[in-house]
Structure 1
Amino acid sequence: MSLEIERKFLVKNTDFKTASYQKKLVKQGYLNSDKSRTVRVRIADDKGFITIKGKSNTAGTTRFEWEKEINILEAEQLLLLCEPSIIDKTRFYIKSEHHIFEVDEFYSDNQGLIVAEIELNSENEEFKKPSWLGKEVTGTAKYYNSSLSKNPFKNW
């Protein structure tokens, strides 16, 4: 188990795509999306993962996370058991000095939403903000993937 410290932002435009050094197609669902803990199943390209995340701190920046790679066939079977509304997205990876932004472009019921996350070593760590980075939404629950599976962007 590790401590995850991240900040989340809306994205103003698609300029990030030209700076991306890698992208993955992601499909994920939730076996449990309780606000105290989530249990997620994810397929990223040809790899499967199961992840458990704890409740965020009051700032929404820090929470416990446990993740394990699982067999792709097991991940596909577990997705069938997930709560309704599977998340489909492409995740782009962009280097910014000594950090990496992960930018998610959502599809299906969340089409039109683009969100960037950056993992940090401490809550107050400084980082360079690229020009395509928009409003910070760290700690805003409606932008959590588990929330998007229940109340998709198309319904806002």
Structure 2
Amino acid sequence: MTEIERKFLVNSNDFKVEASKKTLFIQAYLNTHPERTIRIRISDDRGYMTIKGKSSKNGLSRYEWEKEIPLDEAEELLKLCEPGKIEKYRYHVNVGDHMYEVDEFLGDNQGLVLAEVELQDEEEEFKRPDWLGKEVTGNLEYYNSKLITKPYKNWN
């Protein structure tokens, strides 16, 4: 399945009062090759394996396959992952006809807050809330797989 999404920096915490859900995510990567990434994620008491393909040139779309796996298997696979992990709170925020996923990073990426909105097609219109900042769609340094090797705390 192809995933189409736009990614933005967040310029205030106002999204938190609008959020309908908050979930802690812990994730790491079995593979961070530019052509494909394989992610293991735990959220609440569920495990997931996700495979993502290479992004399109504009960064808006890429292949994504995800499968829920037993929690104990996800915990075991995390032990096999490349060094580093991502810890973050994800907030679900409904804005107009779309749901934004806002990630507030913890640990080595604390201070970074990103919002993503999934679209049906690359030209789809969507409402932009006041807390939405600069667009960073396609900017590789904001990919979770890159934040493991070059965390936000080490940016200039």
TM class by smaller structure: over 0.9
Matched, 1:99 2:88: no
Matched, 1:52 2:70: no
- Tell me which residue corresponds to 1:131: 130
Partner of 1:31: 30
Partner Cα distance (1:54, 1:135) in 2:
25
Partner residue, 1:71: 70
Query: Could you say what secondary structure the match of 1:75 adopts?
Result: helix
For 2:66 and 2:105, locate their aligned partners in 1 and report how far apart those are by CA, in whole Å: 22
One-letter identity of the residue aligned with 1:69: E
Separation in 2 of the partners of 1:34 and 1:150?
12
User: Which residue of structure 2 aligns with residue 14 of structure 1?
Assistant: 13
User: How many angstroms apart in 2 are the aligned matches of 1:140 and 1:81?
Assistant: 27
Residue of structure 2 in register with 1:3 after alignment? 2
Q: Deviations over 1:13-49 (max 9, x none)?
A: 1100000000110000000001110000000111100
Amino acid at match of 1:34: H
Q: In 2, Cα distance between the equivalents of 1:76 and 1:105?
A: 22
1:90 aligns with 89
- Structure 2 unaligned segments of length 5 or more: list them: none
- Report the CA distance between 1:110 and its aligned residue: 0.2
Q: CA deviation at 1:137?
A: 0.1
> One-letter code of the match for 2:139?
T
The percent identity for this pair of structures is 57
Aligned-pair CA distance for 1:87: 0.3
Structure 1 position 76, deviation (Å): 0.6
Counting matched residue pairs gives 155
In structure 1, the residue matched to 2:116 is 117
Which residue does the alignment assign to 2:149? 150
- In the alignment, the residues of structure 1 paired with residue 37 and residue 73 of structure 2 have an alpha-carbon distance, to the nearest angstrom, of 18
Deviation (angstroms), 1:97: 1.1
d(CA) in 2 for partners of 1:16, 1:84: 31
Q: Structure 2 length normalisation: TM-score?
A: 0.99
CA distance in 1, matches of 2:118, 2:32: 22
Question: What is the CA distance between 1:98 and its match in structure 2?
Answer: 1.1
TM-score by length of 1: 0.99
- How far off its partner does 1:114 sit? 0.2
TM-superposition CA deviations, 1:33-81 (whole Å, max 9, x none): 0111000000011110000000000000000000000000100111111
What letter corresponds to residue 110 of structure 2 in structure 1?
Q
